[in-house]
Structure 1
Amino acid sequence: MAIEINGTSYETDEEGYLVNLSEWNEAVADAIAQLENVAMSPSHWEVVNFLRDYYNEYQIAPAVRVLTKAIGKQLGPDKGNSKYLYELFPYGPAKQACKIAGLPKPTGCV
């Protein structure tokens, strides 16, 4: 599979995750978000950028529990909870947010 943006093709796996992580940019994130029916807001970008930083540091996409805890530590308890994250990413904060962030599917996600 692939997504097409401004004449450039970006390869994705069968679930829509970017194959080449280095090809990610905000236009790619917006295109994936549209396919996922997510309207990106500053709150969405905050989570996406948090995930990219986390991945750069630990070389792994966090599972939802780890993500929730880490966001709570960095962004505060009002954002570090499942309810808030599921409102932003209804198909799963870890799974859907990682896809939009151009990261591999988190371990432990089915």
Structure 2
Amino acid sequence: MEVILVDGMELHIDGDGFLQDPQLWNERVAEEFARIDGIDELGPKHWEMIRYIRGFWEQSDMAPTVRNLCRHTGLRLQEIYALFPRGPARGACRIAGLPKPDGCV
């Protein structure tokens, strides 16, 4: 397990970079995870997806499906990959502070 520092707060992440305690997530954590992924700035489309993923997880304790993401945002899968080059699970869900989704390799 690795520890990263965001605004003076120590965050424990697993070997794949997922936050171990999702309750510690905030927008600065999202920005730092995005920076680590090579995303210079999170724009409105990024934040729409991050907030949707986060809200879905808070209500259901699971990540939304890719189909759900596409339906909610109106984006095609290719557009999601353009926003989050590591993909919906390794990129968007991780940046949204979710634990590693089941079935995520």
TM more than 0.5: yes
Matched, 1:5 2:6: yes
TM-score of the superposed pair, with normalisation by structure 1: 0.85
Q: Show the 5 A alignment for 1:90-109.
A: 90-109=85-104
* 1:71 counterpart (69, 93, 99): 69
Q: Judge conservation of contact 1:61–1:105 (CA < 8 Å) in 2.
A: no
For residues 72-99 of structure 1, give each alpha carbon's deviation from its aligned partner in whole angstroms, at most 9, with x where no partner exists. 33333xx1x2111011111112221111
Count of aligned pairs:
103
| 1:88 counterpart letter in structure 2 | L
> Which runs of 5 or more residues in structure 2 are unaligned?
none
| 2:70 counterpart letter in structure 1 | G
* 1:61 counterpart (39, 60, 63): 63
Task: Spell out structure 1 runs of 4+ moving beyond 4 A.
Answer: none
> Which runs of 5 or more residues in structure 1 are unaligned?
none
The alignment yields a C-alpha RMSD, in angstroms, of: 1.4
- Percent of residue pairs bearing the same amino acid type: 37
- SS of 1:32's equivalent? helix
TM-score of the superposed pair, with normalisation by structure 2: 0.88
